[in-house]
A and B are shown apart, each in its own frame.
Chain A
Amino acid sequence: MKQYIHYFRFFLIVIAVLLFVFLGLRLLVKNEEFIRMNDQTLTTERVFDYADKLSDEEENALRELIKETERKIGCDIVLVTENKSLKEQADKDRGYEAYIEDYIMIYADNFYDNQIFGFDKPYGDGAIFVDNWFREADGYQYYWFSTSGKVMDRYSNEMIEHMNQVILDGLSVSPYQAYENYVKQLGKDMSAGALSGLSIPSYIIVLVALLITAIYTAVFLIQNNGRKTTVATTYVNGGKPNLNQVQDIFLTKHITTRVIETSSGGGRQGGGGGHISSGGHSHGGGGGRR
């Protein structure tokens, strides 16, 4: 035990210091929450369960979670379930017969705009997820994740796809699970750590720790016999060779040039699925059908 503590004293001290700093910072920063700046929103409601897929307890639980998450990330988070055809509304919005795939997007954008959502300002930062349980004329049920403001800036096509996948995964358990996944995933993606790009993925930390441990163990096991303490110059008179000729003569050079292909949508690009709603506001997002 004495040997153990003595051996790891450096680690124990570092961990203690880091823990102290971490807890200290958490205490200091904890109260720093986003304050909602938009007073034009027509409602304080966030969960619109028109399709009645959630029990009252579930709705309340989601409201609590949304309220908490909104303060953390500074975005409005809206959830709508529907159980009706959205065709009529879409056609009216477009002024012509809209594509069946567009109904849900038009509905989501309009819902957000009509209620004047937006955390920082009207039509500002936020996201809405609309889940329509009604089977449209083609026999499919449509869903849509729509983004605005900084959420739109943040979400690339890949992230939108991932978000939808996370929601669908939850749906195989229960509607509640799906909507909870939506709020939590949004909280994760919009968290300060994720936004600053400083967040190190957990698996990298685990891998690095594993690698260092493996090297440490291997080195100690290998060195169990003893360490080599001779180098190439150990038996060289004067400690270094006599260099009779050292010549590096430049012969020729050639340059090749290639065009770098810029990748789109990838990385931290964001702004996936951008378009302008009939109200004249920018939205991003994506959805699908089942």
Chain B
Amino acid sequence: MIYKCNNCGGNVIYSPEKKAMHCSHCDSLESQNPTPQNSLEQCANCGAPLKLEEFTSAYKCEHCGVYFILDEKVSGVYLPHLILPFQVSRAEAKEKLKQEFKKRIFTPLAFLSEASLSKMEGSYVPFFLYDYTSQVDFEGKGSKVRVWRTGNKEHTETSIYSIQRNMTIDFDKIPVDASIKMNDSVMDLMEPYQYQSLEAFQEKYMSGFFSEFYNKTAEEMKNRAMDKAGRDSETLLQETIQGYSSVTTLHKDIHLMEDKIHYALLPVWIYDFRFRSKTFQFHVNGQTGKVIGKSPISISKVLLYSGSLFVFLLSIGFLIRGIMEVFS
């Protein structure tokens, strides 16, 4: 699909600021006229040949600059159930990055001014969202120790308890990215997305952005979701067993039941910076604005700030000691 403006014929794209379809040529709102893009080889707007990657579902024609969505990659088996439209605009994402760099004290000052943007694109990343019901059953023995003194004797009282726990955890939409290109750990750090903004899939939200369809099936990606659910179940179980000095497990069972799997597109801004002949990639959550990415580290700043902290802490320590000594 290519969204063309009814008024001027320009490319209508989804604007996160206006929360509406917007033609940047004539400033019209919701003036879109969908034109199908069925061919995988040719741009339906200018006829230029397309060089698409294997999993591409939305792209920008390198020749005429029009954003198009490959209809057959977002329909049928590829039809997403849900989409979370971009809420952070291009300008806001850039501002978030700037703030983040300021917070990163070890990043060279020059990075902000010298780094050049070599790539900046909004992309919908394919995710599978898994619903699980986790049934947790635990049986164990816990001991509490109390120590007290009378005269020159020390008494140690050890009490043994039987611990039984049974809980049901209702996991809702545990996200796992279904894109090979996207680094798993980076995608995990992008979380969480606020799911209340999820909408039933509408193709128009993709206009103006890049996208992929799922690279692997939900079945193939399942293990990562189950790992996450299992880990969280374990943590939640441990949180209910408190106040013991030691616990031995007699029986533990965490059983996950799969309820529903949603195929969703979630928004990410991808920025590539060139700085002193190296590329630094940053991801900005297209909904929350959370920034993930490694920035360069200036050794001299690390030394300066760590060294200063050390000297300051020493000064404070010795001054406090000095004051204490004067007081006594």
Contact = CB atoms under 8 A, between A and B. Distances in A.
A234 B170 CA distance: 11
Interface string A207-232: 01110110011001100111111101
A290 interface: no
Contacts of A7: 105, 305
A42 interface: no
Interface residues of A, number: 71
A226 B292 contact: yes
A260 interface: yes
A236 interface: yes
B245 interface: no
Contact of B167 (A8, A225, A237, A242): A242
Contacts of A234: 191-192, 232
Interface centre among B169, B171, B290, B308 (most CB of A within 10 A): B169
A208 B313 contact: yes
Contact of A209 (B188, B293, B317, B328): B317
B169 A245 contact: no
B142 interface: yes
Interface in A256-273: 256-260, 262
A206 B316 CA distance: 11
A213 B304 CA distance: 12
A28 to B, nearest CB: 8
Interface string B155-180: 11111111111111111111100000
Given A229-B192, A236-B232, A262-B152, A29 B310 contact: no
B317 A229 contact: no
A236 to B, nearest CB: 6
B149 A200 contact: no
Secondary structure type dominating chain A contacts: mixed
B167 A260 contact: no
B159 A217 contact: no
**Which range contains the number of B residues in contact with the other chain?**
35 or more
Contact of A237 (B152, B159, B165, B172): B172
Given A232-B235, A255-B156, A8 B312 contact: yes
Contact of B319 (A4, A18, A228): A18
Nearest to A32: B326
A192 to B, nearest CB: 5
A26 B174 CA distance: 62
A246 interface: yes
B195 to A, nearest CB: 9
B318 interface: yes
Contact of A212 (B134, B293, B313, B323): B313
Interface string B239-273: 11000000000000000000000000000000000
Contact of A238 (B149, B166, B170, B327): B170
Given A213-B313, A253-B159, A3 B152 contact: no
A144 B175 CA distance: 79
B297 A224 contact: yes
B153 interface: yes
Contacts of A247: 162-165
A250 B168 contact: no
B169 A242 contact: yes
A221 B192 contact: no
A138 interface: no
Contacts of B328: 192-193, 195-196, 198
A205 B156 contact: no
Interface string B276-299: 000000000000001111110100
Given A3-B109, A246-B240, A262-B152, A225 B321 contact: no
A244 interface: yes
Interface of A: 3-4, 7-8, 11-12, 14-15, 18-19, 21-22, 25-26, 29, 191-193, 195-196, 198-200, 202, 205-206, 208-210, 212-213, 216-217, 220-221, 224-230, 232-238, 240-260, 262
The 8 closest A-B pairs by CB, nearest first: A193-B325, A205-B317, A196-B328, A209-B313, A226-B292, A245-B166, A232-B235, A237-B170
Interface of B: 104-106, 109, 134, 136, 141-142, 149, 152-175, 186, 188-189, 191-192, 228-229, 231-232, 235-236, 239-240, 290-295, 297, 302, 304-306, 308-310, 312-328
13 contacts: A14-B316, A19-B319, A21-B323, A205-B318, A212-B309, A221-B302, A224-B104, A224-B106, A232-B232, A235-B192, A241-B236, A248-B164, A253-B159
